[in-house]
Structure 1
Amino acid sequence: MRQLVKFQMFLERFLVNMTDDVQVCFVKEIDHIGIAVNDLESAINLYVDLFGAILEIDNEVVDQGVRIAMLKFRSGTRLELMQPLNNEGTVARFLNKRGNALHHCCFAVENLEETLSKASNSNIDLIDHAPRQGVDGQIAFIHPKATGGILVELVQR
């Protein structure tokens, strides 16, 4: 519960506004939710067969050490499933600690570079200080220390 309260405080502080006059980041929408899995094929089959999801993307992001499947539901909601390519990297470490679990929440923003600059100037702990290429566009991550323990991804849309 404490983690959710901290995350809510982050949302109010960073995503809504830092002061009454300065908006740090305009979030267009929740782009997707990321889930780390040990068996990508089984996870894809579960969401396709049980929930009627459509597989949009199935791709490797070698520099991040993951294979990613992006699923889309009839409502437009998207779910990103991530399986590590090896026993190294952040997703592999995450799975070793927590098993299959919710990994991150991704928000779509209009201008990622500007958002990161404003966040940095507002002393928000960032993992990425510049955009990098993700499986479906330019992305960056905010450190969980800044968000009450929730890993937040930003994607430019």
Structure 2
Amino acid sequence: MASGVLRLVSTFCSMVLDDANVSSRFYMAAHELAENITKYSTGPRVSLELALEEAESACVMKIRARNEASPERLREVERRLLTLKSADDPVKHYDALICETAMVEGVSGLGLARVRAEGGLDVDYSIVGNELTITAHAPIGRWRVDEQPKA
């Protein structure tokens, strides 16, 4: 299922974005979020949304992942996300996580840090009950929809 979703993300990005670098950053974020959904969801309700929204000064691309998770997992992901969001230097934070988790088997927790460090995307989250929503987003340059002639 995740590979099909990723193909859709890739197709969407190639249709609306002029910049292959921006497309690859959002593809990577979608990959990391889809992987988290499939690994850590405890229920059948999952979603991965991709949106291109017009803001006052720029267009913003957003990828939003939702899933249900155990209370223990929610506490752990919230701890990681608070640390990630408060990191002054996302690349240094990512590098430190790589060193910390290099010898640990199982869960590395690198995916969201990678989205912020390598992808340059902001990461927000919310937890309501047992549902986790993670949103990766960034302003983008021009998008192709603006360039299409009006009928």
Is TM (by shorter chain) over 0.5? Answer: no
TM-score by length of 1: 0.28
Structure with bigger strand share is 1
